[in-house]
Structure 1
Amino acid sequence: MQNIIRLLFVFFAVVLFSCGGFNKAYKHYEEGEYQDAIETLKKLQAKKPDDPLVNFYMAQSLRKSNRLREAEEYYAKVYNKKIPKTHHEDHEDDAKFYYAVVLEENGKVEEALKQYENYVKKGKNRTYVARAKREVENLKKRADLEKIQTFFEVKPVENLNTNFAEFAPVIYQDKLVVSASRDKAHESDINGQKNLGIYYVPLQNLQSGEAKMQVFDPNIHKENVNEGTPTFSRDGKTMIFARAAPINRKKGPKNMKLYISELDKDGNWTEPRLLEGVSSADNESYYGKPTSKSFPKAYAWDAQPFLSADGQRLYFVSDREADDKGTRSIGRHDIFVAEKKKDGTWGNVRNLGKEINTEADEYFPYVAPDGRLYFASDGHPSLGGLDIFVAERKDGKITVENLGRPINSPFDDFGIMFTNDREGYFSSNRAEGKGDDDIFYFIDKNPGKRTVNYFVKFKTIGVKKDETEIPLTNAHVKILDDNDKVLQEFYTNENAETEVIPVKDDRLAFKVVADVSHQKKPFLAARNDFALVKIPEKYLPPKPVIDTTFVYELKLQEYDDKTKFTLNILYDFNKWNIRPDAAKILDELIVFLKDNPNVKIELGSHTDAVGNFEDNDLLSKRRAESAVEYIVTKGGFDKERITPQGYGEYVPRVITKELAEQYDFLKEGDVLDEVFINKFKDKKTRDLLHQLNRRTEIRILR
């Protein structure tokens, strides 16, 4: 679609060079005559094929006339080259940004991402940097968009499409009306393609064979200008469309404006007139003031209108700057809405806001019979180029969703409309067409309610001391309720997997314990909480009944008599009674011992070096005994399974890798003895190190 947009939209001239072949090319470029600029630049290239400035403007002209693959070649030629400035413009910076743009447009996602990231780091233009950041985010989201599953089936309208452009379909009575270019039309000086016009084909011809297009109405059609994207009132008596005026060298370049025509009493369309209140008339001077304060500047680009079903609202696209109402575009092209007044005139134009419009381009608004707004955008996360999105208000908030494949593709997809609640047409320049933009038919075969059956399967894996992993067969796997009551239990097979287990809707969260204690293998039980997250509707495959199996891995850690772990048990000063916060931690140790019935442990209590040796020895011994008494009493264990041991201050803590990552002034292997601690002058740091020494350690005895 970008070729149509670039065909219709032009930039105004700022300053012209004084003489020479390049000045002529530059003048064409600044006036939006990209095809003429390209022809002039080609002559210059014949003499200077490696001239950076000529190649840069060739790249720019090709990009703006939608010849993106050719543009990529020229941006690559000037990338990181010294390019002379024109009017203080930094062409080297522009080339780096737009090289990323054309790479993305040409489907080279990884290369584009790299170039955008480079520009974010080194780019000079703040507007481009913001766009580059947005594109980096969008490209990283593309993988999620690829996962969207739909019931849409899409096929090109073979007997309508040609190697010319056909796009923006709309139904009018028994006709399919499209905007199109044709062989006999005048050639555009923007990109060398044929001017656009409004054509139609009888709907019955789409099914029966030859679908030769005809001019919609001779009173509307003008060969020497671009016009298109009509919208019709429900009674069929009013048409609003976009038209560009021919270039007037004295007043500036042509721009799209909205025009209105009505059926007269004889059934003929009246001479189109400017849609006042929405589009402005040409100014006497291009750089002068608007003819009316209520209109945007005359060089604003207004196109792609859509009338609401009740005829009271007109949606359209514009790049207008701020007017006296404060209305302006957020990005390059935005969607606006105007309201019909009681006297039949139009006004109260407003931007649809940041929920819909981005800093990039939004095009082709369409309100479906169900009230949802469809539009095309390359600013919201897309599959590439323009994608079609749907917006609706849910719980007072506007949500925007990408329609996904096959409606969208890495190419430009836009201009959707529905003929009923399941079928319709849209436009695309994807490879399945015949060239340029083409019309595609779609049908939604969603059967309505879908049944999704969820299943789980568990794999038991042993993690050895060297961190290698091995399958653990014949492992005992139990699914527990909130009170640790066994709901189901299984043993893993020769592949270390359980059978596939159906999941009921009323139990999507569950606890699972896996152990190999019955095999006397030195692996600690794995206890995990799982919450099954249902797959969002848009990611479900297009089938009426879907079976989905989640596979969870349960990893059991190998242990030996050197295996230790630390419990963060706190005691009151010079006390050994079990506080409520310590009880919670010891309760977790009780669960661990129940999950591992073959394991015996030593519970060692350590103090800091504050105070004297004898007091610390006694205090650590009492704390260890108090903790063991709590565990044995509450857990109902044999006392022989747990050995209390008081270490006092004799075994200072050795800093692990995890602690070194937590405290940047420590490194792995540091020993927190008195000599080490007293090196720190800051009392707060010394207190912290003493606190790290106060600990309870669990060592597995066998």
Structure 2
Amino acid sequence: MKNCILLCLIIVNVFSFGSYAQQSKIDSGDKKYENYAYIDAIKTYEKVANKGYKSEDMFKKLGNAYYFNSDFEGAAKWYGELFAMNNAVEPEYYYRYAQSLKSTGQIDKANRLLGEFNAKNKTDNRAKLYEADVNYLDQIKANSGRYNIENAGINSKYSDYGTFVHDNKIYFASARDTGNFSKRKHKWTGEYFTNLYIADVDSSKVKKFKTSLNSKFHESSPVVTKDGNTIYFTRNNFADGKKGKDEEKATLIKIYKATLKDGKWTNIVPLPFTSDNYSTAHPALSPDEKTLYFASDMPGTLGQSDIYKVSVNGTDSYGPPENLGKSINTEGKETFPYVTNEKEIYFASDGHPGLGGLDVFVGNLEDNGTVSGIQNLGADVNSPKDDFAYVIDPATRVGYFSSNKDGGQGSDDIYKFLETRRLKCIQELNGVITDAKTGAILPGATVSLYDNQVVKNTTTADAAGNYVLPVECGKTYNVRAEKEDYETKEVSITIGRVTGKTSLPIALDRGICRVTVGDDLGVCFGIKMIYFDLDKSNIRSEAAIDLEKILAVLNDHPTMKLDIRSHTDSRATFKYNEALSDRRAKSTIQWLIKNGVDKSRLTGKGYGETQLVNKCADGVECTEAEHQENRRSEFIITAL
């Protein structure tokens, strides 16, 4: 018995020692993880995991360490272990696991997880984007096959990425210089620090950018002004021989600026809106060089990193940073912006629906500062891995991008491309204006293009009756054709989503009706009813289009007066119908007054169900069409 007790104590002590040793390693891994030493953290965690130790927290950190280093195969493995233990984890892990699975080719499983992510976190912009475009792979397929791509010829077995072309030279970042005596590696990635390099375009001869711009830490993503006298670039927070650190003692990254003087880069300073406490990176200048775009995780960022812009007001003056907003930024990473003179912004994102990792997207920069029409560039540029740092010459359609996709020479490689087919959809709306009865062409007809009641363009039919208008792909417009002695006609048209032409012939009926006092002007234009939302009296867009026809006649006949009468069917109570129709008549009058008609020319009231035009009174069974006859608006001419 004594020996048994002794043996049991020995066994307990052995297990206690083993548990203590495991916990010690876990604590060591946590410390490395918290200090962003992800490669070292992975080694420590995996030693423990491979001995059978299981922990949700450890699996999360293992998955994250791989994920943040774009090793999606490793991330998928450990996120898989996490979900095997417990799938009731934070929604973010559903998204990261799905992204990792995409990168390993498990698209169906990834999409199922994205569906669960959407169900758990409907407020997340990434969830909304996925829900709005669950068939995103079809768009990616349609956008593929548009590039000739080749190795840029300047890659090494180390990381090479982030290009900028200036004066027939290509600037980029590379980790190829490992040092003569010591090899300095970044603890986050386990790779050597990058410096700036330069090569002639179409040359494989690469030279280190031998200037004071390069330090012993990271430099990357340079952009040079057109005059060649200013350079913006990304660097670890390091200046005057000192590292800047945030509150957690971590050295982040900043955008720096330098000026060329007597052939040397001098006055190397961080931009004034940078900080020790957040990162700013990957600068890009607008074509007029009055705006600087960049990526940051500064306070106010929607996700892991967002795209911002600042105005460049002078040599050393910048406006406040402006987040480009939810039209482009998600709860994920948006980074590496690039802007062209065609008002396009290219960027990398893992928040918009893609093939896995970072994909390259393009959107339109609108005048109000938002980004519209965002599209994935397709599977030529994009892959299941990280694809980013896309730049293009809009004239030649030649450019570069960076990727760690399979088949490269190093962890990141630079690829050169020629875009053989534009992604931007260009559409033309055309047609011929004719007489509806005789088919005769009607030269000189005015054709106007309306987008949400706003005139976007107007043209005149030529001698052959033809008109041509530029339009945007995928949009729905109203097209209005007008000619003297003909009734105005308005037609709705939805434009195709691929480059081409959309035909819309319009036939006009001859002879605007002649009216006199007592006539209903609405009958002239076929206006049976001014449309309102159910039980409301707000003017709808369809109603505004019809009211513009009435407005045009009133403007052409300044002495004309109208009595506006609104009617309902017999359904609902007598009192309710009377009040509703009266509100609608008054809303119609107010719309006309707001658009310039003197109120003295307008009278009106609602008649409810008191002037039915058929049998459909209370208690009488009628069809919907018969009830519709009673729901009408009248514009009775009271003076000319």
TM bucket (normalised to shorter chain) is 0.5 to 0.7
Is the contact made by 2:159 and 2:412 (CA closer than 8 Å) also made in structure 1? yes
Deviation string 1:615-657 (CA, Å, 9 cap, x unpaired) is: xxxxxxxxxxxxxxxxxxxxxxxxxxxxxxxxxxxxxxxxxxx
In structure 1, the partner of 2:163 is 169
- Give the aligned residue type for 1:98: R
Structure 1 match to 2:277: 299
Shift in Å at residue 449 of structure 1?
Answer: 13
* Inter-CA distance 91–190: structure 2 relative to 1 (3 Å threshold): farther
Secondary structure of 1:42 counterpart: helix
Q: Verify the 8 A CA contact 1:382 1:402 in the aligned structure 2.
A: no
Contact 2:295/2:307 (CA < 8 Å) preserved in 1?
yes
Which residue identity is paired with 1:391?
A: N
Match of 1:81 in 2: 85
User: For the residues of structure 2 that align with 1:130 and 1:373, how far apart are their CA atoms?
Assistant: 19
In the alignment, the residues of structure 1 paired with residue 122 and residue 29 of structure 2 have an alpha-carbon distance, to the nearest angstrom, of 28
The answer for the alignment partner of 2:47 in structure 1 is 43
Q: How does 1:573-588 map to 2 (within 5 A)?
A: none
**Matched AA of 2:223:** T
Matching residue of 2:346: 374
Matched, 1:537 2:488: no
- Paired with 1:396 and 1:187, the residues of 2 have a C-alpha distance of 40
* Structure 1 residues 334 and 255, CA gap change in structure 2 (3 angstroms): same
| Structure 1 position 147, deviation (Å) | 1.7
Verify the 8 A CA contact 2:126 2:352 in the aligned structure 1.
Answer: no
Tell me which of 413, 436, 442 is aligned to 2:417: 442
Tell me, yes or no, if the aligned pair for 2:233 and 2:256 is still in contact at 8 Å: yes
Q: Cα–Cα, structure 1 residues 103 and 120, in superposed 2: closer, same or farther, change >3 Å?
A: same
Does the CA contact (< 8 Å) of 2:126 and 2:330 recur in 1? Answer: no
1:214 CA drift (Å)? 2.2
8 Å CA contact 1:336–1:349 kept in 2: the answer is yes
Q: Residue 361 of structure 2 aligns to a residue in which SS?
A: strand
Paired AA for residue 537 in structure 1: V
**Which amino acid in 1 is paired with 2:167?**
Q
**Alpha-carbon distance in 1 for matches of 2:24, 2:426:** 71
> Which of 258, 262, 266 is residue 259 of structure 2 equivalent to?
262
TM-score when scaled to structure 2?
0.58
CA deviation map 1:385-437 (0-9, x unaligned):
32231324389985334253355323333222234612222222333433422
Q: 1:193 aligns with which of 191, 194, 201?
A: 191
Deviation per CA, 1:637-684: give whole Å up to 9, x if none.
Answer: xxxxxxxxxxxxxxxxxxxxxxxxxxxxxxxxxxxxxxxxxxxxxxxx
**2:353 is the counterpart of 1:351:** no
**Structure 2 counterpart SS, 1:269:** strand
Aligned-pair CA distance for 1:111: 0.6
Do 1:392 and 1:400's aligned partners in 2 also have CA atoms closer than 8 Å? no
After TM superposition, where is structure 1 displaced by more than 6 Å over at least 4 residues in a row?
A: 394-397, 447-452, 531-534
Distance of aligned partners of 1:24 and 1:155 in 2 relative to their CA distance in 1, 3 Å threshold? same
Q: 2:392 maps to which residue?
A: 418
Give yes or no for contact 2:354–2:376 (8 Å, CA) kept in 1. Answer: no
**Contact conserved, 1:169 with 1:178, CA < 8 A, in 2?**
yes
Match of 1:32 in 2: 36
Distance 1:691 1:126 in 2: 44
Distance in 2 separating the partners of 1:379 and 1:334: 11
Is the alpha carbon distance of 1:397 and 1:258 closer, same or farther for their aligned partners in structure 2, counting shifts above 3 Å?
closer
**What is the CA distance between 1:251 and its match in structure 2?**
5.1
Gaps spanning 5+ residues in structure 2: where?
A: 1-21, 238-242, 428-435, 440-465, 468-491, 502-618, 624-640
1:332-356 Cα shifts (integer Å, max 9, x gaps): 2111111233463223221223333
State yes or no: 1:233 paired with 2:205. Answer: no
Q: Which amino acid in 1 is paired with 2:115? A: E
Q: Could you say which structure has the larger radius of gyration?
A: 1
Partner of 1:478: none
1:336 maps to which residue?
A: 308
Task: Say if 1:28 and 1:34, in contact at 8 Å, map to a contact too.
Answer: yes
Q: Does 1:144 align with 2:144?
A: no
- Aligned equivalent of 2:547: none
Q: How has the CA–CA distance of structure 1 residues 51 and 370 changed in structure 2, closer, same or farther, with 3 Å as cutoff?
A: closer
- Cα separation, partners in 2 of 1:77 and 1:304, compared to 1, 3 Å: same
CA distance in 2, matches of 1:447, 1:32: 41
Alpha-carbon spacing, 1:344–1:44, altered in 2? closer, same or farther (3 Å): same
**Superposition CA RMSD, Å:** 4.4
Q: Is the 8 A contact 2:102 2:355 kept in 1?
A: no
Contact 2:280 2:295 in 1 (8 A): yes
Give the distance between the partners of 1:376 and 1:60, measured in 2 at CA: 20
Partner of residue 361 from structure 1, selected from 318, 330, 333: 333
CA apart distance, 1:261: 1.2
Aligned partner of 1:63 in structure 2 is 67
Q: Aligned AA for 1:63? A: Y
For 2:366, what is the secondary structure of its paired residue? strand
Q: CA-to-partner distance for each residue in 1:161-201, whole Å, 9 max, x for gaps?
A: 23322222111334211122226162111121222221112
| Alpha-carbon distance in 2 for matches of 1:398, 1:534 | 21
The match for 1:279 is: 274
Q: Distance in 2 between matches of 1:440 and 1:534?
A: 35
Match of 1:114 among 102, 105, 112: 112
Counterpart of 2:104, as a letter, is: N
Q: Say whether residues 1:400 and 2:373 are aligned partners.
A: yes
Asked if structure 1 preserves the Cα contact closer than 8 Å seen for 2:146 and 2:419, the reply is yes
2:377, 2:423 within 8 Å by CA — same for their partners in 1? Answer: no
| Total equivalences in the alignment | 428
What do the CA deviations read for 1:223-254 (whole angstroms, capped 9, x no partner)? 3x222001111111111111113585985212
Q: TM-score, normalised by structure 1?
A: 0.53
1:311 maps to 289
Which letter does structure 2 place at the counterpart of 1:429? N
**Percent of aligned positions that are identical:** 24
1:513 alignment counterpart: none
Q: Does residue 359 of structure 2 align to residue 386 of structure 1?
A: yes
CA distance in 2, matches of 1:130, 1:418: 28
Q: Distance in 1 between matches of 2:139 and 2:423?
A: 23
Change in Cα spacing, 1:449 to 1:48, as seen in structure 2 (3 Å) is: closer
2:408 to 405, 427, 433: 433
Q: Aligned runs of 1:486-635 on 2, under 5 Å?
A: 535-537=496-498
Distance 1:230 1:449 in 2: 27
Give the Å deviation of 1:114: 0.9
Counterpart selection for 1:219 from 209, 212, 215: 212
- 2:58 counterpart residue number: 54
Measured in 2, the distance between the counterparts of 1:304 and 1:273 equals 16
Once the two structures are superposed, what CA deviation does each residue of 1:428-455 show, in whole Å capped at 9, x if it has no partner? 2333433422222222335999999xxx
SS at match of 2:135: helix
* Distance in 2, Cα, partners of 1:391 & 1:118: 31
Distance 1:249 1:360, change over 3 A: closer
Structure 1 residue matching 2:338: 3-state secondary structure: strand
Q: Residue 113 of structure 1: CA displacement?
A: 1.4
